[in-house]
């Protein structure tokens, strides 16, 4: 498989989009319900309210680590913003859903603190979002080896 990178650096943001032939409420559930996030990113636990911190397991990462994520905004079924700090830096994520004509678009944005690691981060988000698509479609999961380092140059060339 040779996935095509879609992400763009716009100002200080890394922006990726995916479209789904599904109502916005169904796509929202894939982003927010623990049993559905477990299918593609990982399960989570905690109080799901703005300002609260939840624990998220990253099942695709080595060791399947848990990390704390703060819910910065939750506006069902349109917007979810999360932030976290880990050994790789700080993460400020914003997911916005729009629906038109039976198609829901996810606009995934990572607000970057710099572009020095975008060659690694961009392919990672492409991979995770394609896992989301595959989990919703019941399709086989892609391999991260098809994303990195193959997509690295696409993202680094936008710095």
Can you give the pTM of this predicted structure?
Answer: 0.95
Mean pLDDT to the nearest integer, 28-43: 97
pLDDT in tens, 115-131: 999 999 999 999 999 99
Phi, psi angles (nearest 5°) of residue 131: -65, -40
Contact present, 158 and 9 (Cβ < 8 Å): yes
Q: Is the pLDDT of residue 1 over 80?
A: no
Paired tokens of 22 = 């599904």
- State the pLDDT at residue 8: 98
| CA neighbor of 3 nearest in space, from 158, 159, 157, 144 | 144
pLDDT in tens, 68-102: 999 999 999 999 999 999 887 789 999 999 999 99
H/E stretch holding 153: helix 152-156
């Amino acid at each position: 498989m040779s996935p095509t990178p879609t992400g763009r650096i716009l100002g200080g943001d890394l922006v990726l989009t995916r479209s789904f032939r599904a109502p916005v409420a169904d796509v929202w559930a894939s982003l927010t319900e623990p049993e559905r996030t477990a299918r593609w990113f990982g399960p989570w636990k905690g109080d799901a309210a703005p300002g609260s911190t939840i624990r998220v397991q990253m099942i695709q990462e080595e060791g399947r680590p848990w990390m704390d994520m703060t819910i910065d905004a939750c506006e069902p079924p349109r917007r979810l913003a999360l932030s976290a700090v880990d050994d790789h830096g700080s993460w400020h994520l914003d997911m916005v859903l729009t629906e038109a004509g039976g198609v829901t678009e996810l606009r995934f944005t990572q607000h970057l603190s710099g572009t020095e690691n975008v060659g690694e981060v961009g392919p990672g988000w492409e991979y995770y979002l394609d896992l989301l698509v595959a989990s919703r479609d019941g399709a086989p999961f892609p391999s991260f080896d098809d994303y990195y380092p193959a997509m690295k140059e696409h993202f680094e060339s936008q710095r």
